[in-house]
Amino acid sequence: MADYCTHFSCLLDVGTPDNAARALDLYNQLSEEGASEEPPSEAFLLSIQPEHGGTKLWMRDDDTGDPERLIQFVKRCAATFNLTGRWGFQYANTCSRPRLDGFGGGAHVLDLATGETVDWIYTDGWLAETLSDDGERT
């Protein structure tokens, strides 16, 4: 049996150490909401690491993580702390065994002020589209 995992590791600067501490509460609220979903959402790890400064949140997976849950959390932080600018992360989809559908990944960029997606890519969809179109974009 193969195990499928999604991996990521990224930072979000929330401006002040007080905001970083308050972000932990936002994370706990989001985790409680995710636990009530069917099926429950995969969590991710969150910490304030001294080597990244007291204003930056380090978000990463433990074994596997949910990029959509991460995006929801960043949007919540952005709205709560009035963050601006662009933020993004990339992720890798992996598999414990060789599978044709077992590997890929993507990246996502948000406008923190509006919460809107600036751009994103998912390599599985990109590869399938590129192969089916013989490499020509319309």
Mean pLDDT of the chain: 89
Q: Is the pLDDT of residue 23 over 90?
A: yes
Cβ partners under 8 Å of residue 23, min gap 6:
14, 46, 57, 77, 80, 81
| Mean pLDDT within 27-48 | 78
Residue 63 near residue 5, CB atoms below 8 Å: yes
| Mean pLDDT within 48-57 | 88
Residue spans of the domains in the chain: they are: 4-132
What is the structure's pLDDT at 53? 82
Q: Is the pLDDT of residue 137 over 60?
A: no
Return the sign of the alpha-carbon dihedral for residues 61, 4, 76, 111.
positive
Q: How confident is the model at residue 85 (pLDDT cuts 50, 70, 90)?
A: very high
Residue 72 near residue 37, CB atoms below 8 Å: no
Q: Can you tell me whether residue 23 is helix, strand or coil?
A: helix
CB atoms within 10 A of CB 90: 15
How many percent of the chain have pLDDT more than 90?
64
Structure tokens at 23: 């972000």
pLDDT greater at residue 36 or residue 25: 25
Q: Is the pLDDT of residue 133 over 80?
A: no
φ/ψ of 84, rounded to 5, equals -130, 175
Q: Domain 4-132 adopts which CATH fold?
A: Alpha-Beta Plaits (3.30.70)
| Mean pLDDT within 30-55 | 78
What is the structure's pLDDT at 124? 82
For the stretch 97-110, pLDDT in tens is 988 878 999 999 99
Q: How confident is the model at residue 47 (pLDDT cuts 50, 70, 90)?
A: very high
